[in-house]
Amino acid sequence: MARITAAIASSHVPAIGAAIDNGKTEDAYWKPIFEGYEWTQQWLKEEKPDVVILVYNDHASAFSMDIIPTFAIGCAEEYQSADEGWGPRPVPLVVGEPDLAWHIAQSCILDEFDLTIINKMDVDHGLTVPMSLMFGQPDAWPVKVVPIAVNVVQYPPPTGNRCWMLGEAIARAVESYPEDLNVQIWGTGGMSHQLQGPRAGLINKAFDNAFLDDLTANPQRLRDMPHIEYLREAGSEGIELVMWLIMRGALGDHVKPLHRHYHVPGSNTAVGHLVLKPE
Ligand code: DHB
Ligand code: FE
């Protein structure tokens, strides 16, 4: 039987990918960010997950204003790194896990969560930057990936509570998969940041740290948090944090935090990172 053994949350920032790809991880600006992921890189070598269900958002790379799925699942054999304007990142091909992905699609859709099925797409920094932060620069990624893409770019994004319930449905799907797989679920994006308008550059350390606390201490508060609160407190792009609630919903009521990291700034973003185990 497949089982979700642990979860990771992490911000994504394109400049972090560029720092890795251009050999700048030891630079004074970047070093404190990467140091916070060293514990996790080591832990992942021991945990050896087979598959990561990677909840992320596309930034108008695979999708556009033409098609905006609220929740989508990648069922492809493989995913190329997207060209976001500077050529595709020089990272390994992301290898999918189509059998598990189709099982999750079937289980969730019959469980009344209507995921859009994607059989071909490129993946942008939203997916590849967390992979690089956790695994560094290997020749091949050591895990297969089931991408879950969430619309947080065009209003209206899904509510936090809906994200939580999707996480629960994904956990039910994984539990009913007969193959013996060690599965992790990752929630990515966030934390506070705003890339546009008069409040560009907004960071809110108090909000971010309360969010990190409450993923363990009071997840109900986060389930109930309305979009306007993300917008006001965490900036327009802070809404990416709702994706962390899909990860958290998949873990059940009680979790144990194993590792936590927070650093400001990473480009325009507050970089937050958490490793959780279900209890
Ligand atoms: C930045 C952060 C993001 O989440 C993103 O998608 C693009 C840029 C930034 O901080 O520069
Ligand atoms: Fe983003």
* pLDDT tens-digit map of 56-84: 999 999 999 999 999 999 999 999 999 99
pLDDT at 84: 97
Mean pLDDT over 168-177 rounds to: 98
pLDDT at 6: 98
State both tokens at 2.
């497949």
Ligand 1 centroid–CA 13 distance in Å is 5
- Annotated catalytic residue 193: yes
Backbone region of residue 190 per phi and psi (left: phi > 0; alpha: psi in -120 to 50; beta: other values)? left
Say yes or no: CB of residue 269 within 6 Å of ligand 1: yes
Say yes or no: CB of residue 74 within 6 Å of ligand 1: no
Mean pLDDT over 100-122 rounds to: 98
State both tokens at 45.
């070598």
Which among 199, 237, 242, 263 is the best mutation to test ligand 1's pocket, defined by most ligand atoms within 8 Å of the CB? 237
Instruction: Measure CA of the first residue to CA of the last residue in the chain; give whole Å.
Output: 18
Percentage of residues in the chain with pLDDT exceeding 70? 100
Backbone phi, then psi, for 187, in 5-degree steps? Answer: -110, 130
What average pLDDT does the structure give for the chain?
Answer: 98
Hey, what domains does the chain have and what are their CATH numbers? 3-278 (3.40.830.10)
Say yes or no: CB of residue 16 within 6 Å of ligand 1: no
* pLDDT tens-digit map of 198-238: 999 999 999 999 999 999 999 999 999 999 999 999 999 99
Of all protein residues, the one whose alpha carbon is nearest to atom 10 of ligand 1 is 268
Backbone phi, then psi, for 201, in 5-degree steps? Answer: 95, 0
* pLDDT tens-digit map of 181-192: 999 999 999 999
Model ipTM over 0.90: yes
The CA-based dihedral angle spanning residues 167, 173, 179, 184, taken in that order and rounded to the nearest 10 degrees: 0
* pLDDT tens-digit map of 265-276: 999 999 999 999
Say yes or no: CB of residue 267 within 6 Å of ligand 1: yes
Say yes or no: CB of residue 13 within 6 Å of ligand 1: yes
Which among 151, 241, 267, 271 is the best mutation to test ligand 1's pocket, defined by most ligand atoms within 8 Å of the CB? 267
pLDDT at 97: 98
Ligand 1 centroid–CA 173 distance in Å is 32
